[in-house]
Amino acid sequence: MVREQIAARGVRSELVLNAMRQVPREAFLPERMHEFAYDDTPLPIQEGQTISQPYIVAYMVEALGLSGGEKVLEIGAGSGYAAAVLARIAGEVYTIECIENLAESALSALIKIGSDNVQVIHADGTLGWQQEAPYDAIVVTAGGPRIPESLKKQLKISGCMVIPVGTQEHAQELVRVTRLSETDFNTEELVSVRFVPLVGEEGWGCS
């Protein structure tokens, strides 16, 4: 998977490639989906959500520019798979999930594979997690109509956030935001993507 679906498509970071090699994707899937674990496609999990395709996980993690040991905030734990990949690179990972059942199953899967530097939080991810801010990097794994101001404020200066943004709930541009100073941010569009909607106060609204 890593050689043919990720490295061959342009992901170059050895930290990211090694992390992808180390995390068993099937550990984050329902048993009936295990045979598809290494297909390069999103797959359904519970609560109408999906686990992202491996290439997109690798692409987004590489876009953060991590060098190792950072404090990272993830919005949208989902299955826990991306948090497990981040945990192989970062020093601390805080991942927020607004659906309680998903938060519980993600935590269980992370514990089973030994990702003990990840904290799973059941909360509104669009508001971030002020208790541990600021963060070296923030990654958002659901698409919002705009970049949440709460998340921008929780980035360290020189910190980077990667987030899908778009005015349609299932079609976005992946955007990288770099904090230049207390008030200045640089924003660049990376690639077109399709993510589930970012639900919350600074997203598509609470369900």
Which is catalytic among the residues 52, 105, 115, 150?
A: 52
Contacts of 4 (CB under 8 A, 6+ apart): none
Angle at 125 between CA 61 and CA 184, to 5 degrees: 70
- CA–CA separation, 153 vs 178, rounded Å? 11
Inter-residue contact 156 to 136 (CB < 8 Å): yes
Q: Count CB neighbours of 161 within 10 A.
A: 26
How does DSSP classify residue 26? G
Burial label for 68, CB within 10 Å (0-12, 13-18, 19+), is exposed
Active site residue 115: no
Catalytic residues: 52
